[in-house]
Structure 1
């Protein structure tokens, strides 16, 4: 009877071992699928979307740059640049033009 009990115990241990292995394999597959899904999602985002810009933060950044240029003695050039965009002051400028305005302002004095 002892041999039968030993055999039964060994079979139960192997059964538990294979169940653990199967559970770990399933978890591994889930992890792989999640990583692949993230990678494919990141590729689509990188191709399809530009980073979203915050017009309020852009305006603050441009205001700081224009103020710096004025302090450096380029007030006339700053005013001319604003007029080029059809504005007398920064708040009159269309947010779509902020990027071009910023790069134009960077060129003042160089």
Structure 2
């Protein structure tokens, strides 16, 4: 592997790690935000009523795919990317992120 390819892979790995850390920080913030249970229940019920579908971002997909790859499903992740017509995640059309994420979540679940 050339030095440039190694550097590119290292950069990709760092971005994946950063996305995973960011997702973990968001989850921790939500869990320990200091709101009492009654406020959380009210905000959850209000959110269900007007729940707009959140946009799936590249970082979200990258974090899930990196987790699956680290769990030993690298070949399945590559096959999934090829299914969407790309050799790497950055080549995938953002309109396909939600479907890709749904397909990725079943990798390794025995389905």
Q: Aligned residue for 1:101?
A: 100
| Distance in 1, Cα, partners of 2:68 & 2:53 | 28
Q: Distance in 2 between matches of 1:67 and 1:52?
A: 21
Structure 2 CA distance for aligned equivalents of residues 95 and 81 of structure 1: 15
Structure 2 unmatched runs, 5+: 1-49
CA RMSD of aligned residues (A): 2.1
Which stretches in structure 1 are left out of the alignment for 5+ residues? 1-45
Cα deviation for residue 52 of structure 1 reads: 5.6
Once residues 65 and 51 of structure 1 are traced to their aligned partners in structure 2, the CA distance between those partners, rounded to angstroms, is 19
Displacement of 1:51 in angstroms is 3.8
Alignment length, in residue pairs?
62
Distance of 1:106 and 1:88 partners within structure 2: 19
For residue 67 of structure 2, what is the aligned residue in structure 1? 68
- Which residues in structure 2 correspond to 1:35-74 (within 5 Å)? 50-51=52-53, 53=55, 58-74=57-73
* Higher relative contact order structure (alpha carbons within 8 Å, sequence separation ≥ 6): 2
**Could you tell me how far apart the structure 2 residues matched to 1:108 and 1:93 are?**
18
Q: Which runs of 4+ in 1 moved over 4 A?
A: none
Could you say which structure has the higher helix fraction? 1
How far has the Cα of 1:101 moved from its partner?
Answer: 0.1
Provide the TM-score with structure 2 as the length reference.
Answer: 0.50
1:85 corresponds to = 84
Q: TM-score of the superposition, structure 1-length normalised? A: 0.50
CA distance in 2 between partners of 1:82 and 1:108 (Å): 13
Higher Cα Rg, which structure: 1
